[in-house]
Amino acid sequence: MLVTSRAEVIATRRVGAFRHLTLVAADIADVAKPGQFVSAAVGGAASALVGRRTLPIANASPSGTYGGTLEVLVDSDGDAGMRWLAERRAHDEVDLIGPIGRPFPLPATAVDAIVVGVGASAACLSWLSEQLRDRGCRIDLVLGGSDDRHLVGVVEARRIVGNVSVVVPTDVQELPTQLAGAVRHLLRTGDASVVYAAGRAVHLAAVAEVAHPYGVVVQCQIDEEMPCGTGLCGSCEVPVQSKSGDRHSIRCCTEGAVLRADRVRWPLYLQDLSGISTVVTS
């Protein structure tokens, strides 16, 4: 069930190209899980900005000095709405809706897992990795960014996981290919039975394709634009197919954003997003 919260910012700090915000939002924090999002209203009373921005939840603490808190990363180099959020300071308030979407499903028993994330989309992966570690899972983590400023969570991940690969290409267009290469190496040399991935569709498509021959389950958190976060606008449709082969579209914000990679029709989805299919071949 979605909860609306008038959340107070209690802390803010810079993390590379991003602004890390901690907000008091007890009703959302009490039920939030890794892989879910919040939708934030942008613009003040005197602003011309309208609409919302949907952000992955980096962490949630159900209790504490201030009550339940949420953590999010905001791209300071993003559009006007993102910049407005990045400029929030302590005691400012932000209207939030959440938690949005399905969380990452956790395995019932201990397994070997590969966890992959790119940029701000990787914000929740330390949180996810802690939960996997608590279940006895062995974890290899791959973090990517367009440059050093857009790498997220490397220090935290090494504290939790230990084995962390970092992918920063000299040409940003090569990021999907290099990310897929790092995952392929881990699949060849390890015994992973599940891959958890968070990023833009082009990165997830690359990971999904390279993992397919190995028969592992790939759970993807799709971090693309979700203008309303409630399913009403219909602007975040993802083309999918069922096990029986039936093809249809779902709304990423309500029926995603975590989906099994083998359900998504990646070439069509990438074409819908950019007009050009950019799936990386294995």
Neighbours of 87 (CB within 10 A): 12
Amino acid identity for residue 56 in this structure: P
pTM comes to 0.91
Q: What is the pLDDT of residues 4-38, one digit of tens each?
A: 899 999 999 999 999 999 999 999 999 999 999 99
pLDDT category at 275 given cuts 50, 70, 90 is low
- In this prediction, residue 278 carries a pLDDT of 41
CA distance 66 to 140: 34
C-alpha angle 263-117-216 in degrees, rounded to nearest 5: 45
Query: In percent, how much of the chain has pLDDT > 90?
Result: 70
pLDDT in tens, 99-137: 999 999 999 999 999 999 999 999 999 999 999 999 999
Six-digit token string for 263: 């359900």
pLDDT at 276: 43
Residue found under tokens 């000095």: 65
